[in-house]
A and B are shown apart, each in its own frame.
Chain A
Amino acid sequence: MSSSIGEKCTQIKQEYDGCFNSWYSEKFLKGDATPKCDDLFFKYKECLLKTLEEKKLDTLLADARKDNPFPNSAASSASPSSGSSSESSKKN
């Protein structure tokens, strides 16, 4: 399994990835988008946000996403440094 950019986050990341992979193939692709991995994603993101701030990647990311929004994305996802994004998004 691939590592996280933040070494301390690798373990929780891989737990989340395992959950997502199962959800993606067994649920999402079959038409069931009910979230299953929100708790794990929340913990993973908590760790990740600290890493992004330490490496000063949070502003870099936020700027890149603002400048040139991905086609078809409605009101694009919240910036990574915003605490509310991890609570409000439905992740799987």
Chain B
Amino acid sequence: MVKFYQHTSSFEHAWDNVTYAFWLRYPNPFASHVVGCDVIDRQVDPVTGVLRTTRLILKQGVLPRWGRGLIKNPDAYIIEESEVDPRTQTMVTRTKNLNHVRVMQVEETQTFTVHPENPKWTQVKTEARIISELKWGLTGRVEAFGINKFMDNSAKARKGMAHILERLRQNAALAAPATAAAAGVAAPDC
């Protein structure tokens, strides 16, 4: 079973701020299951100037009753890779789960660009693939669960980003722009 999903949304915040918020997005009130987040690798490409980062995220979730026979350990590891190109103002991110892949693989790619209709906003295009190869009649239930969970998680992720962006905006309103970043450092981040 493979399901595809596409969605375009926007943040009423500038691209610089949105990409900055991306680094700060955990913890936030909508991401209570995220218990750890680490930068595994990070480099600036000397030729293109693109910042490439790999992060590992640990989520501790709760399994539905029917899932407990399939999965022993509700710890979920997610790998997040991203590329930020400040010259073209494009950020592309990709997340996928590292474990529980036999039950389900969820891979999401997001592209953040300056909004075509408002240079002070950011547009986000999301594409996702949800794959499950389970047999024995489980696929339907797993599929429905996976899609619903994914949609929930997408909505929470947007709310989480919006929350962090609002905090940054409030901090910036209190401080001069150059120090707003430093004020933003005091906000939760990953």
Contact = CB atoms under 8 A, between A and B. Distances in A.
A76 B52 CA distance: 10
B56 to A, nearest CB: 6
B189 interface: yes
A61 B94 CA distance: 14
Interface stretch (B5-13, B79-87, B141-149): B79-87
B41 A2 contact: no
B43 A60 contact: no
B98 A60 contact: yes
Contacts of A77: 41, 43, 52, 54
Contact of B34 (A2, A6, A71): A2
A52 to B, nearest CB: 8
Interface string B1-38: 00000000000000010011001101100000011111
Contact of B190 (A2, A64, A80): A2
Contact of B56 (A18, A35, A61): A61
Contacts of A9: 38
B77 A57 contact: yes
Interface string B115-146: 00000000000000000000000000000000
Interface residues of A, number: 45
A74 B94 CA distance: 16
A5 B58 contact: yes
Given A5-B36, A64-B96, A65-B79, A20 B44 contact: no
A61 B81 contact: no
A48 B38 CA distance: 8
A11 interface: no
A21 B185 contact: yes
Contacts of A85: 41
A13 B26 CA distance: 13
Contact of A91 (B19, B42, B98, B178): B42
11 contacts: A1-B189, A6-B38, A17-B185, A26-B178, A48-B40, A60-B77, A60-B99, A61-B56, A77-B41, A77-B52, A90-B46
